[in-house]
């Protein structure tokens, strides 16, 4: 497991969340000023400086439940309100979209380009707020500083860590089903043609070398697919052409989206609900969230505290607020409970 995976997981899932919310705000014809406020408030919270500093500290991934709770809180960092069913749909779409992107990355290092695509798009969402734009740019610089020097092996470990996190998630999404990139069981169909990874060659040639390292023979073979060389490598700078399209906004063209849980995932969810035994990782999960939310002190849990972990988790998430941003009162006009109903 890589201790450098969490920032990439958080930022890419957050980017997918913003894509979906932007699409739903437009589809629901939410007034422009209110829609901008929703997006700006969530982006402000997501890229809070203290939050990012804690996020980038080397640490292992924790449970799906802990991370899901962070996104629940993040989605409600504005005047927007989502009911449980809508939040479930939102999280399903986020996770399956990023899982597909990780699977399709030509090289493990290209996961960083996917992250940059998300951040490039997030910057386009920001309107009339240079302070928020500076927050995102600062995170951009942190990504460059931390990840640009990592080896191919370290990126491969990051990719494996992400795939382990996603391995039991097989939720069907209508966009993927209609595009025939996902099977009815929720598993993705991976292409066997297209650009090869940067720095590699199109399959079709075997080179034979002698004991001195000299090439002595070449054998060509038919690879059976339509592979091509990439034109250039994507830019890993603050600004530039990322080349790959993974991580860009697939909701820019409006089309209905649905999520359907496959049988295996339903069984997994059922077993999860039935398992009411105290979680031995409860303390670690709470400490993880405490670090992200600003360094709250979590005492070593006794058996009683383990039983009360849900209440404690809710209390910690209650601290996930941006300073000087008062909570908005909600009226019928502010309530977006049905916002995700068409997904």
**Token pair for residue 100?**
């597909």
Residue 179 has φ and ψ, to the nearest 5°, of -85, 0
Output the 3-class SS for the chain. CCCCCHHHHHHHHHHHHHHHHHHHHHHCCCCHHHHHHHHHHHHHHHCCHHHHHHHCCCCCCCCHHHHHHHHHHHHCCCCCCCCHHHHHHHHHHHHHHHHHHHHHCCCCCHHHHHHHHHHHHHHHHCCCCHHHHHHHHHHHHHHHHHHCCCCHHHHHHHHHHHHHHHCCCCEEEHHHHHCCCECCCCCECCCCCEECCCCCCCCCEEEEECCCCCEEEEEECCCCCCEECCCCCCCCCCCCCCCCCCCCCCCCCCCCCCEEECHHHHHHHHHHHHCCCCCCCHHHHHHHHHHHHCCCCCCCCCHHHHHCHHHHHHHHHHCCCCCCCCCCCCCCCCCCCCCCCCC
pLDDT of residue 298: 31
pLDDT of residue 335: 38
pLDDT of residue 216: 96
d(CA 278, CA 248): 40
pTM for this predicted structure: 0.75
* pLDDT one-digit tens code per residue, 155-171: 999 999 999 999 999 99
Residues of the chain scoring pLDDT < 70: 253-343
């Amino acid at each position: 497991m890589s201790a450098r995976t969490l920032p990439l997981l958080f930022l890419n899932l957050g980017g997918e969340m913003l894509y979906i919310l932007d699409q739903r705000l437009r589809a629901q014809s939410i007034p422009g000023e209110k829609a901008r406020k929703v997006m700006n408030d969530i982006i402000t919270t997501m890229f809070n400086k203290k939050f990012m500093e804690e996020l980038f500290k080397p640490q292992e991934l924790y449970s799906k439940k802990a991370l899901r709770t962070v996104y629940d809180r993040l989605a409600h960092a504005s005047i927007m309100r989502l009911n449980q069913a809508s939040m479930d749909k939102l999280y399903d779409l986020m996770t399956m979209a990023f899982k597909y992107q990780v699977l399709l990355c030509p090289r493990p290092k290209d996961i960083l380009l996917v992250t940059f695509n998300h951040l490039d798009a997030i910057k386009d969402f920001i309107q009339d707020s240079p302070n928020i734009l500076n927050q995102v740019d600062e995170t951009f610089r942190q990504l460059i500083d931390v990840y640009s020097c990592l080896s191919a092996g370290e990126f491969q470990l990051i990719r494996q860590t992400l795939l382990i996190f996603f391995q039991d998630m097989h939720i069907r999404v209508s966009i993927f089903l209609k595009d025939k990139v996902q099977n009815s069981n929720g598993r993705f169909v991976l292409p066997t043609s297209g650009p090869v990874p940067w720095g590699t060659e199109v399959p079709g040639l075997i080179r034979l070398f002698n004991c001195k390292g000299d090439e002595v023979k070449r054998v060509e073979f038919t690879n059976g697919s339509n592979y091509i060389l990439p034109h250039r490598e994507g830019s890993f700078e603050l600004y530039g052409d990322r080349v790959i399209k993974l991580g860009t906004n697939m909701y820019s063209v409006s089309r209905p989206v649905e999520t359907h849980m496959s049988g295996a995932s339903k069984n997994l969810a059922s077993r999860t609900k039935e398992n009411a035994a105290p979680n031995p990782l409860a303390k670690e999960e709470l400490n993880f969230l405490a670090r992200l939310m600003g360094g709250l002190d979590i005492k070593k849990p006794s058996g009683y505290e383990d039983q009360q972990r849900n209440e404690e988790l809710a209390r910690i998430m209650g601290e996930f607020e941006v300073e000087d941003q008062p909570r908005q009162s909600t009226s019928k006009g502010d309530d977006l409970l049905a916002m995700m109903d068409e997904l």
